[in-house]
Amino acid sequence: MLDKAYRDIQSQVHPDRFAHAGDAERRASLQWTTRVNEAYRTLKSPVQRGKHLLELQGVDVAFETNTAMPAEFLMQQMELREQLEEARDARALDALRAGLQKNKRSLEGEIADTIDAKKDYKGAADLVRKLMFLERLDEEIDSGYEALE
Amino acid sequence: MALLQISEPGQSQAPHEHRLAVGIDLGTTNSLVATVRSGVATVLPDANGRPLLPSVVRYLNGGKTEVGYAAQARQAEDPKNTIVSVKRFMGRGLKDVAHVESTPYDFVDAPGMVQIRTASGVKSPVEVSADILKVLRERAELSLQGTLSGAVITVPAYFDDAQRQATKDAGKIAGLNVLRLLNEPTAAAIAYGLENASEGLYAVYDLGGGTFDISILKLSKGVFEVVSTSGDSMLGGDDFDQRLFCWVVEKAKLPPLNPRDMRLLQVRSREAKEHLTLHGDAPITAKLSNGELVDLKIDTETFCSITQTLVGKTLGPMRKALRDAGLAVDDVKGVVMVGGATRMPQVQRAVGEFFRRDPLNNLDPDKVVALGAAMQANVLAGNKPQGEDWLLLDVIPLSLGLETMGGLAERIIPRNTTIPAARAQEFTTFKDGQTGMSIHVVQGERELVSDCRSLARFELKGIPPMVAGAARIRVSFQVDADGLLSVAAKESTSGVEASVTVKPSYGLADADIERMLRDSFEHAKDDVHARALTEQRVEGQRLLEATKSALSQDQGLLTGEEREAIERAMRSLESLLAGTDHRRIKHAADALNRATEDFAARRMDAGVKRALAGRKIGSL
């Protein structure tokens, strides 16, 4: 659905449609395409999408200021990071990533349920923050692969 | 068959008439120009029927130049003035140039971009590239019998902003209206995808003369979406020649060589490499200037072993591209091979092993990029009716960021972001009463600024004095559809605003471009005025047509008064087109552009509304 809407709009506003148009139209096209790309990126990323949907409900996820997380979750994160540091080959990284992907999927499901069904926006904000931690770990796994090469 | 319609250059064309647009592959080793004729993309050959133009320029005394085969034939004889593989120097400083010791050129380390001293003066790589483009433009205009309305020029996907800007500048100096810079692997994907009606995820492995790109694309009906791209802008067939050349020098125990012998052996090495593609071994013979005879033979096995690390260097970017796309090897449905260097059997083998499937070679790896660029140029020129054209979504290859405290790079737009893109970040002052801030724009993936490429530095002045941390400086990045960046900084507290916009251009200021343009016209004995008039007429005509078609589609968006104002501006432009004053035409065109600003914005809004009618964000 999202992909289709994105493509439909892009096919209306993309600069390629206006390469032979006047400056005014080219400028408007550039601005619109930029906005559409930004919107698509926001809605496509589970963390950004969650943050945006919660903002629409007046709840600020506050990644930067609110770093208080349950102790149990933090312990688990620290363990995962230790495993990452100890990972010496691609196989170990693959295993870490597979586990992380599973965790992310289930957390994303939980967020959708908390927002859509339970309408517990405060609770959802905590979950989105957790998801953000997992995404950071994902990025660190990427750096792990790069360090191997 | 319809007779070819030939219109006087610069004469007004009827609306919806086919516009002459070309795709240009400006390669490290060879360049090509292609166009779409009767719906089919074809490479335009030279008068002798040769499709390729060797990317070689020789500068002679008195400002004369030779380009292509003629220059190539003299390269060993006149190595200092015969520039090969100039693409490797585009947007690069002297310290970036690999193997300086084995190039014969007399480099001048100009700020920003390296320059080369030749018999006809100091030349920037941009000018050398422009001389190649000029020959291709003339070839196309002769063959198509008319002035080109625009060109798409391809660049390696992994080119950074400086290299892209340099390429676009070269196009301008060559007198081309550059419709778009298109990434080479993306161009190849267009040609391949349309030819084979492919759907799904494809990888494009593009090993050219001097650059390596790997792009992963999602092909679906009418949409070419680049998911990720990676590469090495300093790796290509040239490096294989260089390895072979070093092997020859070592094997024949040669003393340090003069430029002529060096170039001669480099040429022989290249020929041997090409010979090995189809044969088990290749002879390398050359008579050096001191009379000594080099007579060697190399077999495939030796060649593979001395170039193994080069092939290996392409594997890292392949893995990175897949990781960035979040894909496994088995998700990829096919691997398209592009670039002359992919003809080497060891490259084919390595790629086949990596993707666990046979690479696709059914399009000529030398021509596929130019053909794809021609197809895109045809769409951009508006020669395809809506519905029959396609949509191309590309990404930036390298992250864009700013230098922050401690020499660290702060990422503003991450790599593989779909373009056009914009992002902004707020910064603040760190000293009381600070009234200026220096902004350093960098590109690259490394944490330290010193490991990234510096694109531009500028100073934001006039910040009202306040305590440290109180100022709000918003730095915004905008990347356009060519992948080119512009940066603006704005201080916005206490109602005072200051803003600066820079267009990062690696060394070349607008004034330099203007000078080069003038020089090139003087040498070509071209009439500056006539050229400007032609350009303004084409541009004015294009604008009139675009406005007419916009009015016929969406006049409901305008009040009678607004429509009247636009029509007035159109009539004034129309009446001036027949005249000979290019400045007045430009003024009238600018006025029409201003008059249609609101209309353009409304049309765009209406388009988005149509696409999104009846949808809610939650349902997307």
d(CA B528, CA B516): 13
Q: Which of A15, A36, A146 sits opposite B481 (nearest CB)?
A: A15
Q: Which amino acid is at A119?
A: K
Query: Tens digit of pLDDT for each residue in A71-81?
Result: 888 888 888 88
Among B345, B353, B249, B255, which residue's Cα sits nearest to residue B303? Answer: B345
Q: Chains A, B: CB contacts under 8 A, how many?
A: 128
d(CA B199, CA B217): 10
Phi, psi dihedral angles at B22 (to 5 degrees): -130, 160
Interface test with B, best of A6, A27, A34, A64 (most B CBs within 10 A): A34
pLDDT for the residue numbered B13: 41
Task: Verify whether the Cβ–Cβ distance A15 to B480 is below 8 Å.
Answer: yes
Chain B: residue whose CA lies nearest to A148: B316
Would you state the structure tokens that stand for residue B347, as one six-digit string?
């490259």
Q: In what order do the strands lie in the sheet with B334-338?
A: B334-338, B200-207, B212-220, B223-232, B391-393
Q: How far is CA B99 from CA B73, B102, B265, in A?
A: 23, 5, 15
Other beta carbons within 10 angstroms of residue B526's beta carbon come to 12
Cβ–Cβ under 8 Å, residues B248 and B294: yes
pLDDT for the residue numbered B512: 66
d(CA B201, CA B334): 7
Would you state the structure tokens that stand for residue B27, as one six-digit string?
């390669």
Q: Is B100 on the interface with A (CB under 8 A)?
A: no
CA atoms within 13 A on the CB side of A62: 10
Contacts of B402 (CB under 8 A, 6+ apart): B409, B410, B412, B425, B427, B439, B440, B441, B442, B475
Q: Which residues of A touch B604 (CB under 8 A)?
A: 12-13, 25, 28-29, 32
Q: Give mean pLDDT in consecutive 10-residue pieces for chain A, a chain of 149 residues.
A: 86 86 86 91 89 86 71 86 86 90 92 89 89 89 82
> Whole-prediction pTM value?
0.85
Chain B: residue whose CA lies nearest to A139: B324
Q: Which residues of B touch A89 (CB under 8 A)?
A: none
Q: Is B379 on the interface with A (CB under 8 A)?
A: yes
Backbone dihedral region for residue B210 (phi beyond 0: left; psi -120 to 50: alpha; all else: beta) = alpha
Q: List all residues of chain A from 53 to 72 with a beta carbon under 8 Å from chain B.
A: 53, 56
Contacts of B35 (CB under 8 A, 6+ apart): B20, B21, B22, B23, B41, B42, B44, B140, B144, B374, B377, B378
Q: In 3-state terms, what secondary structure has residue B502?
A: strand
Task: Verify whether the Cβ–Cβ distance B421 to A1 is below 8 Å.
Answer: no
Strand partners, B442: B401, B454
Q: Which of A19, A25, A28 sits opposite B179 (nearest CB)?
A: A19
Q: Which residues of chain B have pLDDT under 70?
A: 1-17, 98, 385-387, 494-528, 531, 613-620
**Residues B64, B68, B69, B74: what is their CA dihedral angle, to the nearest 10 degrees?**
50
Cα A27 vs. chain centroid, distance in angstroms? Answer: 29
Task: Verify whether the Cβ–Cβ distance A13 to B599 is below 8 Å.
Answer: no
pLDDT for the residue numbered B521: 54
Would you state the structure tokens that stand for residue B92, as one six-digit string?
């690069």
Contacts of B451 (CB under 8 A, 6+ apart): B444
d(CA A32, CA B244): 51
Q: E strand or H helix at B594, and its extent?
A: helix B582-595
Chain A: residue whose CA lies nearest to B598: A24
Q: Which long-range contacts (CB under 8 A, 24 or more apart) does B553-560 make?
A: B553/B603, B554/B599, B554/B602, B554/B603, B554/B606, B557/B599, B557/B602, B557/B603, B557/B606, B558/B599
Q: Which residues of A touch B481 (CB under 8 A)?
A: 14-16, 30, 33
Cα angle, residue B16 at apex, residues B15 and B17 outer, rounded to 5°: 90
Q: List all residues of chain B from 165 to 184 with a beta carbon under 8 Å from chain A.
A: 179-180
Q: Is A146 on the interface with B (CB under 8 A)?
A: yes
* B597-612 and B582-595 helices, crossing angle to 10°: 50
Q: E strand or H helix at B185, and its extent?
A: helix B184-196
Q: In 3-state terms, what secondary structure has residue B406?
A: helix
d(CA B541, CA B550): 14
Task: Verify whether the Cβ–Cβ distance A25 to B600 is below 8 Å.
Answer: yes
Q: Which of B420, B542, B546 sits opposite A34 (nearest CB)?
A: B420
Cβ–Cβ under 8 Å, residues A127 and A107: yes
d(CA B310, CA B289): 31
Task: Verify whether the Cβ–Cβ distance A9 to B600 is below 8 Å.
Answer: no
pLDDT for the residue numbered B10: 39
CA atoms within 13 A on the CB side of B332: 32
Strand partners, B297: B283
d(CA B311, CA B377): 33
Other beta carbons within 10 angstroms of residue B508's beta carbon come to 22
Cβ–Cβ under 8 Å, residues B117 and B167: no
Q: Which of B223, B381, B610 sits opposite A7 (nearest CB)?
A: B223
Would you state the structure tokens that stand for residue A106, as one six-digit string?
């289930």
- DSSP code of residue B397: S
Task: Verify whether the Cβ–Cβ distance A22 to B478 is below 8 Å.
Answer: no
d(CA B492, CA B495): 6
Cβ–Cβ under 8 Å, residues B359 and B267: no
Contacts of B37 (CB under 8 A, 6+ apart): none
* Shortest CA gap B593–chain A (Å): 6
| Most distant CA atoms of chain A, gap in Å | 59
Would you state the structure tokens that stand for residue A23, as one six-digit string?
């400056």
Q: E strand or H helix at B368, and its extent?
A: helix B368-380
Q: Which residues of A touch B380 (CB under 8 A)?
A: 16, 19-20
d(CA B470, CA B429): 7
Task: Verify whether the Cβ–Cβ distance B600 to A7 is below 8 Å.
Answer: no
| Most distant CA atoms of chain B, gap in Å | 85
Task: Verify whether the Cβ–Cβ distance B421 to A16 is below 8 Å.
Answer: no
Q: Is B2 on the interface with A (CB under 8 A)?
A: no
Q: List all residues of chain B from 494 to 553 with a beta carbon under 8 Å from chain A.
A: 542-543, 546-547, 550
* Shortest CA gap A68–chain B (Å): 25
Cβ–Cβ under 8 Å, residues B155 and B183: yes
Cβ–Cβ under 8 Å, residues B468 and B479: no
- DSSP code of residue B7: -
Task: Verify whether the Cβ–Cβ distance A32 to B604 is below 8 Å.
Answer: yes
Question: What amino acid positions of B are annotated as catalytic residues?
Answer: 25, 87, 184, 206
Q: Which of B380, B600, B603 sits opposite A20 (nearest CB)?
A: B380
Q: Is B268 on the interface with A (CB under 8 A)?
A: no
Q: Which residues of A touch B381 (CB under 8 A)?
A: 19-20
d(CA B4, CA B60): 39
Among B504, B478, B443, B520, which residue's Cα sits nearest to residue B126? Answer: B520
Q: E strand or H helix at B160, and its extent?
A: none
* B125-144 and B161-173 helices, crossing angle to 10°: 50
Interface test with B, best of A2, A16, A51, A105 (most B CBs within 10 A): A16
- DSSP code of residue A71: H
Pairing outcome for strands B391-393 and B223-232: parallel
d(CA B74, CA B65): 12
Q: Which amino acid is at A11?
A: S
**Residues B188, B194, B196, B202: what is their CA dihedral angle, to the nearest 10 degrees?**
50
Task: Verify whether the Cβ–Cβ distance A15 to B599 is below 8 Å.
Answer: no
Q: Which amino acid is at B139?
A: R
pLDDT for the residue numbered B5: 40
* Shortest CA gap A55–chain B (Å): 13
Q: Is A19 on the interface with B (CB under 8 A)?
A: yes
Residue in the block written with tokens 């008579």 = B287
Q: Is A27 on the interface with B (CB under 8 A)?
A: yes
Chain A: residue whose CA lies nearest to B482: A15
* Shortest CA gap A71–chain B (Å): 30
Task: Verify whether the Cβ–Cβ distance A13 to B608 is below 8 Å.
Answer: yes
Would you state the structure tokens that stand for residue B316, as one six-digit string?
């890292």
Q: Which residues of B touch A28 (CB under 8 A)?
A: 597, 600-601, 603-604
Q: Which of A2, A16, A30 sits opposite B380 (nearest CB)?
A: A16
Interface test with A, best of B389, B536, B608 (most A CBs within 10 A): B608
- DSSP code of residue B421: E
* Shortest CA gap A121–chain B (Å): 15
